[in-house]
Amino acid sequence: MVYEAVIGLEIHVQLSCTSKMFCDCPNRPGDDPNTNICPICLWLPGAVPRFSLETLEKATLACLALNCDIQSRSAFDQKVYYYPDLPKGFQLSQHHMPLSRGGWIDIIDENGKPKNLRLHHAHMEEDVAKLVHETEGRTPISLVDFNRAGTPLIEIVTEPDMRSPHDAMAFLKVLRTQLRYTGCAECSMDQGTMRCDANISLRPHGSDQLNTKVEVKNMNSIQHVGNAIAYEIKRQTESLKNNEPIVLHTRLWDPEKRITTAMRAKFEGPCVPDPAVTHILITDEWQQNMASKLPEMPQQKVKRFVRQYGLTHDEAAQMSSERELSEYFEAVVKLGASPRTVANWIATQLLPAMKEYGHEFATTPVTARRFSGLIMMLEKNEINSNSARSVLTKLFQTAQSPEEIVDQFGFRQVSDTGMLRGIVDQVVSDNMSAVENYKNGNKKSIGFLVGQAMKLSQGKADPKRLQEIIREKLA
């Protein structure tokens, strides 16, 4: 029998709010342990939560970016369970009346075709405290850090529309881009600001039944999500072939061994309406106001970049993949460099160099002005692309302008015909066998001769001009 996988995801995203969800403590979980705390987020008996408007605004923007229907009334429930990271015994979450329902994301599937993946709903919930496991002498101890307690999250729950590891990974990438564009969330899986659980079940290909699913947790990169799903599909296929029943449970992904291991029976505690936090009522007017705060989203930007700058679809998609990148691209183009050269140089030279030097767009010393200066010198043939690459490296190391670097290090391209002829004469007399080959019809030899001439010019000659002169001379 051929099985198909049915995959749904639950994604927790930390909202980048300045304060926690129900108190005014700073939302900075990384500070020294237990410094951002108060009676409310220590969950002391009698403390009354006060819901923050900032959480609602950012959660709403995030939902709008995912095409969700914002509900005019939503409410918090107490999701009841006890664990040392939740000493009050319940988590405030929206179980019965979530902030939004529906929504969708478009991905490109394995066959290159667009595929629409639906969301079931998205809701707000508070994060729990963080447990830190250490040893004191030989005694294992667990410490609780409440800096994270009560920080704002949204949980996004998809419909089980995904069929492969590829679908799930593509979904997460688009989701991350959409949410990052809004500025509401950082969505970094390795930093833990985006966490994903996957529900996976199998069914005979073509059937529409939903079978018992297994939940997999503990993946801290998008690639791990793909690997864990692939492993789980294989494991469940073998179980079914051996007539072993699939039971509902939770498994952990082990990235070292690249397997999933059984953790516990899946636990669902009761959810009861919370009496302290008032219902959230959203008017159309307020929602429209939030929608007007959404920036131009990636799909619109791609279309505009194609139309306005003549980029190919792939170039436009690449330049729109991050908001900061797209803004940098446009800033460089506005200073006069031609869009396709800029897109090409950002993708193939600037981004790798930024990675090498450990810079983001916010911190890069290669500002839009300096980068556009470099690209325009290249376009005016004042330097060749070899030299431009060297100048780019120097832009990371010095504060000089590209023009100053070119002058100081003698990168200016040699296009002076007399000088180039001198170089060609030298190369031709030094490489008679290559010249003979060329004259005997081996036209590839010209590449070798141009290379030798470039070397002699210390990389500064205009390679096109050199080739013309060599052809003339050997004609």
Instruction: Give the residue from 171, 293, 186, 169 showing the smallest Cα distance to 221.
Output: 169
- Least spacing, CB of residue 91 vs Zn ion, in Å: 15
- The answer to whether the beta carbons of residues 249 and 266 sit under 8 Å apart is yes
Q: Is 414 in the site for Zn ion (CB under 5 A)?
A: no
Phi, psi of 136 (to 5 degrees): -115, 105
Q: Which of 6, 17, 25, 168 binds Zn ion (CB under 5 A)?
A: 25
Instruction: Give the residue from 155, 207, 192, 121 showing the smallest Cα distance to 21.
Output: 155
Fill in the per-residue mask, 313 to 352: x = in contact with Zn ion (CB under 5 A), - = not in contact: ----------------------------------------
List the Cα angle 73/64/321 in 5-degree steps: 160
Q: For residue 436, is it left (φ>0), alpha (ψ between -120 and 50) or beta?
A: alpha
Q: Is 21 in the site for Zn ion (CB under 5 A)?
A: no
For residue 41, what are the contacts with CB-CB under 8 A and spacing of at least 6? 20, 22, 23, 25, 146, 149, 150
| 308, 314, 320, 325 alpha-carbon torsion, rounded to 10° | -100
- Least spacing, CB of residue 239 vs Zn ion, in Å: 46
Residue 360 in tokens: 């983001």
Minimum CB distance to Zn ion smaller for 40 or for 66: 40
Q: Is 128 in the site for Zn ion (CB under 5 A)?
A: no
Q: Is 388 in the site for Zn ion (CB under 5 A)?
A: no
- Least spacing, CB of residue 329 vs Zn ion, in Å: 41
Separation between Cα atoms, residue 323 and residue 332, nearest integer Å: 14
| Window of 30-38, 317-325, 342-350, 395-403 that interacts with Zn ion by CB under 5 A | 30-38
Q: Is 23 in the site for Zn ion (CB under 5 A)?
A: yes
| Window of 4-12, 19-27, 66-74, 460-468 that interacts with Zn ion by CB under 5 A | 19-27
Instruction: Give the residue from 201, 182, 219 showing the smallest Cα distance to 12.
Output: 219
- The answer to whether the beta carbons of residues 413 and 405 sit under 8 Å apart is no
Q: Is 38 in the site for Zn ion (CB under 5 A)?
A: yes
Fill in the per-residue mask, 180 to 219: x = in contact with Zn ion (CB under 5 A), - = not in contact: ----------------------------------------
Q: Which of 11, 13, 41, 198 binds Zn ion (CB under 5 A)?
A: 41
Minimum CB distance to Zn ion smaller for 151 or for 178: 151
- Least spacing, CB of residue 39 vs Zn ion, in Å: 7
Minimum CB distance to Zn ion smaller for 11 or for 37: 37
Interacting positions 43-72 with Zn ion (CB under 5 A): none
Separation between Cα atoms, residue 277 and residue 87, nearest integer Å: 19
> In the complex, which residues of this chain contact Zn ion (CB under 5 A)?
23, 25, 38, 40-41
